[in-house]
Amino acid sequence: MNKKQKNLMYRLIASALMMIVLHFLPIRGILRFVLYMIPYLTIGYDVLRKAFKGIMNRQPFDECFLMAVATIGAMALAVTKSGDYTEAVAVMFFYQLGEFFQMVAVGKSRKNITELMDIRPDHANLLTEEGIEVVDPDEVEVGSVIVVNPGEKIALDGVVIEGSSSLNTAALTGESIPRDVSEGSEVISGCINMSGVLKIRTSKEFEESTASKILDLVENASSRKSRSENFISKFARYYTPIVVYSALALGIGMPLIRILFLAADPMWGQWIYRALTFLVISCPCALVISIPLTFFAGIGGAGRAGVLVKGSNYLELLSKAGTVVFDKTGTLTRGSFEVGGIHHSDMEDAELLRLAAYVESASSHPISKSLVKAHGLEIEREKVTDIEEISGKGVKGLVDGRHVAAGNEKLMKDMGIDYRPCSHPGTVVHMAVDGRYAGHILISDLPKDKSARAIDKLKKLGISRIVMLTGDMNSAAEYVAAELGIDEVYSELLPGDKVGMLEKIMDDNGQKAQNRPSIFVGDGINDAPVLTRADIGIAMGALGSDAAIEAADVVLMDDDPTHVAVAISIARKCMRIVYENIYFSIGVKILCLILGAFGIAGMWLAIFADVGVMVIAVLNAIRALFVSGKKISK
């Protein structure tokens, strides 16, 4: 509890005790008024000050103005009529009690998010010629070596050059299982070193590191407001002056009508009391406070489950999603390709594999890496020249003076090579050497263990259409789709084709007209254009990828595809809470406003309609902080 919360708590306790004591003291007249002003000012001086500032700034119509007018009016009525000041003090007391609950709830939300995002390192141990120097992470340059001791956070992204250890990634991924690293392992900032001493060569500056990007993402999430939040802001802007003028009409207009048209007693005291009650009831605190708090808590709850959402607008879109489009490689499949066989080769398998590895050695594509890995020997770069990478088709180059081409059927057709198709499922790398077909290498990429479960979870959530897009061969794509239960698959797509296909999918069923957004899930590196084009782009297993954090709207902090269903479920629960608060708050307000206007509801019911509804809505809102994806992902 911070200083401001403690101060308000002490004032609440003091004013409550004074009210109890004054209730039993047999005091009348001006002394009673003066004594009751003490607890009233103790608990309400800041509200009165804010109301006065609002008037001076020509922006009077807020909840502080409503509370000030209502309580001062109630005090005036007590002076002239009943002599009971309890209602006036109680209105201010319970309003401030509601504010206290709201402050505690927001504080709890912020604390949870702060703990979740407690990944910003305080220092870095920079290795210099003189020894280890403790510096600010901002001062460490790319290529420097930092030392991370057990229990310390990794300050910057980099590669382990010495040592081995286990890393606690819970703050980043929500997973409790440590990740083992050793020499050559890439590591990201924000993880906690659990055991051995690590020496890491940094690959990024601190402001470009994973921890900084995630913190920036979370800190700016609240600036991207949902339609529901925008509605509440507009609602409050027009609603407050309307109820103020309505209260004036009730307190002044009705007595004048009785005098001018009914020739009856104006009953000024009764109608002014109703108007004041009307003002207290009308205060839109529950809506104005609880809706943003729900989204704030929802983003925090999602983060606890390993789902980073860039703004509350994306939570709202996720809750309405009707189509999920998956990339295949690295998203639904492991992305770790292995050579499964060499077919129709006239040369030794080892020699064909060597030529493939050499010509593919300059590419960072997973298939290229698998060929180099299968070759198993060091690549002599001087033996490879004139490498030409052809997007979506393959690679050409000179290896030991021989013209070597490795790629798909499209590359073979372009070269006029009579190739032989493969009947086995998987990715086929066709080889041509010196203009003649030399056989093909079968590369297999198996589905992830949880991919089938992820598709099943999405279907149970009512997602009407699940699609897979891939640049892979049709046979490999159909095999993976059949294994996972995906009915719609499009294969052999160039990177640019994926955007066009996604647009076609988005338009096919008129999803936009039905307000059913489309999600694209990719690895966030080569799928950045499609992630950007989708209604909601989800980068999965791409933590640390600049492309993921920049292009995606939602970032899953591990490579578990079931977390797509987790993200949708969390968003739906958050939106349920939002709508519960909207319907409950407005419903109770309207009912009590009608009762107050007809004189049925008194000031005590007004207190419940204002403060009680706000407390209930706030307590309901913080439920969004405790949404959990564990049950969904199992």
Catalytic residues: 327
511, with CB counted inside 10 A (0-12, 13-18, 19+), is: buried
The C-alpha atoms of residue 384 and residue 400 are separated, in whole angstroms, by 7
Q: How far is the C-alpha of 164 from the C-alpha of 365, rounded, in Å?
A: 27
Among left, alpha and beta (phi > 0; psi -120 to 50; other), residue 493 is beta
Write out the DSSP string of 246-312.
Answer: HHHIIIIIHHHHHHHTS-S---HHHHHHHHHHHHHHH--HHHHHHHHHHHHHHHHHHHHTTEEES-H
The residue to which tokens 């108007």 are assigned: 275
Residue 604, phi then psi, degrees to nearest 5: -70, -40
Rounded CA-CA distance 67/436 in Å is 87
> What's the half-sphere exposure (Cβ side, CA atoms, 13 Å) at 161?
13
Amino acid residing at 150: P
Strand partners, 520: 325, 537
474 to 428, 542, 602: CA distances (angstroms): 10, 26, 73
Whether 250 contacts 595, CB under 8 Å: no
Q: Which two tokens stand for residue 180?
A: 């083992």
Distance CA 527, CA 547 (A): 8
Q: How far apart are CA 569 and CA 83, in angstroms?
A: 55
Residue 426 near residue 434, CB atoms below 8 Å: no
Which residue, chain included where needed, has tokens 């309505």?
Answer: 246
Surface-to-core class of residue 459, CB atoms within 10 Å of its CB (0-12 exposed, 13-18 middle, 19+ buried): middle
Q: Which residue has the tokens 């039993």?
A: 24
Burial of 369 (0-12, 13-18, 19+ CB in 10 A): middle
Determine the Cα–Cα distance for residues 241 and 434; give it in Å rounded to an integer: 82
H helices then E strands: how many in the chain?
A: 23, 22
| Distance separating alpha carbons of residues 480 and 99, to the nearest angstrom | 55
